[in-house]
Structures are given as structure tokens and as C-alpha cells.
Amino acid sequence: MQDLNITLVQIDQVWEDKIANFALYEKAFEKINSTDLILLPEMFQTAFTMNTLMAEPFENSSSMAWLKTQSAKFNSAIYTSLIMEDGGKLYNRGIFVEPSGKITCYDKRKSFGLAEEDLYFEAGKEKVILEYKGWKIQLQICYDLRFPEILRNNWDPVNQIPSYDVLLFVANWPAKRSLHWETLVKARAIENQCYVAAVNRVGTDKMNLDYSGNSLVVDPLGKVVLDLYQKSTVENVYLSANQLLETRASLPFLKDQMLK
């Protein structure tokens, strides 16, 4: 494993206007020099809407084509989510695009009942862990953060390694619950002995919900190594492979899962 350079894009979103949002991201990307992975907020090109007319077909998605183009341009993976139709069902689908064009999908498993997300989108049923640049990465979306039972980092006694090294969250998390956001991101890092990179938006949406950003990267000990606070910004941070391995070696909490 080498250190992993992650870039968080914390900006406002234009309600249900894909072209305008593409332009905003392209402008934000001008601040990126070199990185391994770019994180964009949940439903990156529409904002968090229940408007099913915003859905795109999985096999012919213009937004996925845009993501592929940007990934190749910056030679960097991109992770975000969008509304997608697949097999006659609609999903809040996480899309991890690699510069090669490879795509890994994750369907949000926990629907946000307060917004009636469960009435519009099919909940995902499977966790998704991929390997990228030597790191094992588990994909997540927003509300999943509240459910540690679906995030548990399990210890493999045969290979003597955990399931994953970093959790990625893309979100539209309201400002009025920002304390929950910060607390839960730290908790997920500590209990799973992993890095957590969580990107959120800023601004106010058409439902009059305010978003404070507070995008975070937290290390395996729960220390915040990057906090974007409440500003519209693009910033990057390196995840230390050595620190991850040393933390797990000195504090074998995950390994102790196997104790009777």
C-alpha cells in the first residue's frame, strides 16, 4: 500500500439542473493538480430530490459518461451518487469510476424515511468493497452512516487482515444535524480502525434545507485530519498507509473479534 491522495469537493448544488451542476464541478476541478480519488456529494448533478424524472438509464447514462470523461482527464477515480434506473427499478446508486473506465456500483442500503426516499427508490442489499491502488475501499451513501451493523469491519483470521481500509461517504446531510454527522463519522473510524472520508454539500436546497458542509477525513484513531468546515472549497489530503497498519498492529481490536 502507498499513501492515498483524496480530494473532497464541497460546493453548493443547483436543484435538478444537471448541466449547471456539471459546469460547477468543472470549475471546481480547476483547483485540482494531482490526486488519486475525487469525492463529490450525493446525487451530485441534481441535489437530493425525490423527482424520479431525474433518473438515468444505467446502460445509457449521460452523467456516467461525464464522470468517465472527468476521471480519465484527471487520471483519478471519482466516487459520487445519482438517481439511476436499472431493470425497471430506481436506485440512489453510488458510482465509483476509475480512469480506465471501470465502474463499480453501490446501491444505498438505508433509505431516508424522513424524506420518503423509501417510497421512490429501491434499497440496496449488498455491501460493496473494491480494491484501488492497494487500498480496500467500502462504498457508502449518506444515511448509511447511522447504521454500524452494515459497516462492520470484519477480521479475516486466515489472511490476518480486516475487510477494508477506508469508508467513503457521499452525502446531502442537513446542517441541523451536523453534530450527528461529525460524531458518527468519528465513531465509524474508531470502531472499524479505518480511515473515513465523508463529503457533504453546502448551501440551501429547494426544500429550504440548509447544508453546512463539514466534510471530514478522519484517521483510524478518530483524529480529524481534514475538515472543510462551512465553506465552498476543494481540498485534498493524504491517507497514510503506515499509520493505518501501525494502528492496527499496536491496537489489535479488530483481531479480538475472534476471541471467545
Predicted TM-score of the model (pTM): 0.97
pLDDT band at 260 (very low <50, low <70, confident <90, very high): low
In this structure, what CATH number is given to the domain that contains residue 229?
3.60.110.10
Q: Give the residue numbers spanning the domain of 91.
A: 4-258
225 falls in which pLDDT band (50, 70, 90)? Answer: very high
Q: Catalytic amino acids?
A: 42, 108, 142
Task: Please state the three-class secondary structure of the chain as a single string.
Answer: CCCEEEEEEECCCCCCCHHHHHHHHHHHHCCCCCCCEEECCCCCCCCCCCCHHHCEEHHHCHHHHHHHHHHHHHCCEEEEEEEEEECCEEEEEEEEECCCCCEEEEECCCCCHHHCHHHCCCCCCCCCEEEECCEEEEEEEHHHHHCHHHCCCCEECCCCEECCCEEEEECCCCHHHHHHHHHHHHHHHHHHCCEEEEECCEEECCCCCEEECCCEEECCCCCEEEECCCCCEEEEEEECHHHHHHHHHHCCCCHHHHCC
Average pLDDT, the chain: 97
35: DSSP letter? -
Residue 137: Cβ-neighbour burial (10 angstroms; 0-12, 13-18, 19+):
buried
pLDDT at residue 92, rounded to an integer? 98
Task: List pLDDT tens digits, range 59-94.
Answer: 999 999 999 999 999 999 999 999 999 999 999 999
Domain count, the chain: 1
Q: Which tens digit of pLDDT belongs to each residue from 29-60?
A: 999 999 999 999 999 999 999 999 999 999 99
For residue 235 the three cell numbers come to 481540498
pLDDT at 259 over 80: no
107 falls in which pLDDT band (50, 70, 90)?
Answer: very high
pLDDT at 1: 85
Cell match 477525513: residue? 217
The pLDDT, as a whole number, for residue 57 is 97
pLDDT digits (tens, 9 = 90+) for 125-169: 999 999 999 999 999 999 999 999 999 999 998 888 999 999 999
Residue 197 has pLDDT above 90, yes or no: yes
Q: Which of 205, 144, 157, 174 is nearest to 12 (CA)?
A: 205
